[in-house]
Chain A
Amino acid sequence: MSGSPRSALLRLPARALRGLVRLATSGNAVVVIVLAFLSSLIVGALIIIPATPSALSAWGDVGSDPLNAIVQSLDAVGNAYGSLLAGAVGSPGGYVQALDLRPADVVSAFSPLSETLVSTTFYLVAGLGIALAFRAGLFNIGGQGQLIAGAIFATWAGFEFPGLPIYLHLPLAILCGAMGGAVVGFIPGLLKAWTGAHEVITSMMLNYVVLSLLTWVVTTRLFQAPPRNEAISKVIAPSAQLPHLAGPDLRVNLGIVLAVLAAIGVAWLLRHSTLGFKFRMVGLNPFAARVAGAGMQRLTVIAMTLSGLLVGLAGAFMVLGVDLQIAPNYGGTYGFDAITVAILGRGSPTGVVLASLLFGAFEAGGRSMQASTGIPLQLVEVLQAVIVLFVAAPGVIRTIYRIRVARTGERVFGGWGA
């Protein structure tokens, strides 16, 4: 009876629907993330409406014209999210126009994607670093300091050896950045191994130590740019710059390729290497790991150092790929946001890739939304925080949407003394 391909084809939609329903009620992690995403858009809408004058004034006379208030609100929200999306992945109109192959049109069509990938680069490498520490049961909250240290060292290598050919200079600068981050990650690791000092506290404190170091270092003779009247570093040599991938007008550069390679590397490390196995063992059950004879202290130091190394890479990519010099308060908040990326990605390299794409798209889209609709860029910070809050607390999603969500039983942290 089910022999004919036609009837099978007919039953396909029904089967897909049943599958979707089962997926939606099974408490899959994907469902949680999708619902968290929707929730954040709703929260976002609730703060876009009062921030839009036309919608706000329509609600002012909601008594006389309730329909207009709703229409104006939907219009404001649609406008904001529309320009957010267009700023993140580009607009269909732009791509159609690019078909004429005029360079200016092609650049403007692909510029949103390029910007998304540029931001993704930093979130990805830094997020991988934090995620690696997560997997080893460590909470590296010192990403910002490690990222700045990476930027400082990469900048130094970038301007100090101007004569080198690019195939030597660029790897050297990247390596220096990685080392800078590794040193700052090494300290909390060592302190934890030696004295049991909690890495959350020590790495958080190091953020501010390194931030102060940055303020000082850009005023030293070694770093400060020639007229020496501004607190800003020298510019790195062209031979230390990450080459652009798609022409000089699009900022997307080799950094994204290296970041993806780093993701593959971390995935391999966790899945196939002895060291990665030990990390996961310590992360899942430190007691069992200790009993099994894993050198806990050595693993702690190695995990924190590797974590800092990856985050330091993000700082290097920022300087070598985009900014070319550093100044006080350099680094944005990528080192801090990397924590939320790692949480959203649930500590897995694949998850971090997806989460950093989302955050990169949010950032690029937010900038363009601010430019075209006047809605402040900080909207995306709220959206990001809400998503991660709900993803970290699937129980809340369960309550709000009345669905069953599997308990993940994932515990990252067990108190200061742990």
Chain B
Amino acid sequence: MSGLAGRLGLLRPGSGDLAPSKSRDLTLAQRRNVGILLVATGVVTLGLFLDQTPAGLHTTFRLAMSPAGHVPSVVVPSLATEAVTGVLTLLLGVLQLVRRSPRLTYLILSVGLAAFGIAFLTWAGKGQTVNFVGLLATSLIEAVPLALGAFSGVLCERSGVINIAIEGQFLIAAFFAAVVASVTHSLWLGLVAGIISGGLVGLILAVFTITYRTDQIIVGVVIDAFALGLTSFLLQALLVPNQTALNSPKVFQPIPIPLLDRIPVLGPVLFDQSVFVYLTVAILIVIQVGLFATRWGLRVRAVGEHPRAADTVGIDVNRTRYLNVMLGGLVAGVGGASFTIGLTGQFSTDMTAGLGFIALAAMIFGRWRPMGALGAALLFGFSDSLQFTFSVLNVPIPSAFLAMFPYVATIVAVAGLVGSARAPAADGQAYSRE
């Protein structure tokens, strides 16, 4: 059982920092699988992509938002680029298979997959132009709610409460942000309303799971169902008859940061975005530093790994959990508000469409770490915006298969086939002193 495993884990050298899954914790089989994966992707690149790329074609990567931008595009020979990146991936895979040390495994995996990504884009855009900056900017926008939802999950689960209610927090926050922003004509009040309503859903989750010690997964699932029902009901009953008065908020416009937005490539991607992108970065820094460099963070992690031990040294386990679950709700509230007053300017039925569950996946894929969660969210956002790029480029891969990517990647990660993902040891277990 996880509790026992966690206690043993505490005694194991290398995980004493209560931060699971460093590359030195990987088993031999997991490291071997990383090598096999990279060799396989290298073979796909060299075999499949090269075979389908006629000689003499070039791929153009546009590095400015508009064709008339001040940064020239990069034009590469398709065949040569695929060959180089394919060989690189293959070599990294072989290197991973023959070397002994477990260190740098995640770095090798990242570089190998990035090389594969370049090969993939080069193949997809052969003889055409890939709007690279646009792709990155869209990925970032797609990643924002995922990252915020995943941060919410990190906050809850590091303290030992499983948060499956992210989807419900998104929906409720998106709804109330839209309504309040429409009624008050103030986007900022809408944002506050979204955040508070997300926090209230967090409070419900906390009351049921911590005070009443109800099964955390069940409460999460039911809160999701409740939020979907409530928002759809109120939408049909109240908003649809009064669409202009209640459901037509403005949308936060991009705020260019002076000077920084002129940086080639990175400028338009990172520094000409809406307030939600900047908020995400701020929240990331606060959570990352808070969890791993403050006394509060150490206490939270202790409560999530071994609540009895934490209790023994005088930490109020359930108070810590209450605080974290509600903080998580507030953060998910920011993410939820971004759907209506950040993107669409209107609430619609089930508008989050399961993104709360992808956020959960991003948290797991990111191994319960804020930085990892952001990385996973960016990766999932990238695979999502690729669908759009591919339909522009007429790539012969059904977009449905790209849509599967985040889920398959998460299954592979959770199964520990490539890398490992271990939850906090007391995650999902209610605590009482008896």
Interface of A toward B, CB cutoff 8 Å:
47, 50-51, 139, 141, 191, 194-198, 200-202, 204-209, 212-213, 215-216, 219, 286-287, 336-337, 339-340, 343, 375-376, 378-382, 384-386, 388-389, 392-393, 395-396, 411-418
Contact = CB atoms under 8 A, between A and B. Distances in A.
B428 A413 contact: yes
Interface residues of B, number: 58
Nearest to B212: A395
A395 B225 contact: no
Contact of A219 (B1, B398, B406): B398
Interface string B419-434: 0001101111100000
Complex A-B, nearest 6 residue pairs according to Cβ-Cβ distance, in ascending order? A381-B229, A417-B2, A415-B428, A51-B237, A385-B226, A376-B236
Contacts of A380: 229
A412 B428 CA distance: 11
B281 interface: no
B259 interface: no
Nearest to A376: B236
Interface string B203-226: 000011001111111110111011
Interface of B: 1-3, 5-6, 162, 207-208, 211-219, 221-223, 225-226, 228-230, 232-234, 236-238, 354, 357-358, 360-361, 364, 398, 400-401, 403-404, 406-408, 410-411, 414-417, 422-423, 425-429
Nearest to A50: B238
B234 A417 contact: no
A337 B229 CA distance: 12
Contact of B237 (A139, A202, A286, A375): A375
Most chain B CB within a 10 A radius of its CB, from A207, A336, A381, A417: A417
Contact of A411 (B215, B232, B361, B403): B215
Given A411-B215, A415-B427, A416-B162, A51 B233 contact: yes
Given A209-B407, A418-B2, A378 B414 contact: no
Contact of B216 (A287, A339, A413): A413
A343 B2 contact: no
A414 B225 contact: no
In this complex, the member of A141, A197, A339 whose beta carbon has the largest number of chain B beta carbons within 10 angstroms is A197
A286 B408 CA distance: 29
Given A392-B222, A411-B215, A385 B410 contact: no
Nearest to A417: B2
Given A412-B218, A417-B422, A418-B2, A384 B225 contact: yes
Nearest to A139: B217
A395 B401 contact: no
A191 B408 CA distance: 13
15 contacts: A47-B230, A194-B415, A196-B416, A201-B360, A201-B364, A212-B400, A215-B400, A216-B398, A382-B230, A388-B225, A395-B212, A395-B213, A396-B207, A415-B3, A417-B423
Contact of B415 (A191, A411, A413): A191
Given A385-B225, A388-B222, A208 B354 contact: yes
Given A205-B408, A205-B414, A412-B217, 20 more contacts: A50-B238, A51-B238, A191-B415, A197-B415, A205-B407, A209-B404, A212-B403, A216-B398, A340-B222, A378-B229, A378-B230, A378-B233, A381-B228, A382-B226, A389-B222, A392-B218, A396-B207, A414-B1, A417-B423, A417-B427
Given A50-B238, A191-B415, A216-B400, A385 B428 contact: no
Contacts of B233: 47, 51, 376, 378-379, 381-382
B365 to A, nearest CB: 10
B112 to A, nearest CB: 22
A340 B414 contact: no
Nearest to B209: A393
A141 B221 contact: yes
Nearest to B358: A208
B303 to A, nearest CB: 14
B226 A389 contact: yes
A195 to B, nearest CB: 4
Given A340-B222, A392-B222, A202 B415 contact: yes
Nearest to B416: A195
Contact of A208 (B212, B215, B407, B415): B407
A413 B161 CA distance: 12
Contacts of A141: 217, 221
A411 B215 CA distance: 7
B414 A198 contact: yes
A385 B357 contact: no
B181 to A, nearest CB: 20
A205 B410 contact: yes
A171 to B, nearest CB: 31
Contact of B410 (A201, A287, A337, A340): A201
Contacts of A395: 211-214
Contacts of B2: 414-418
B229 A384 contact: yes
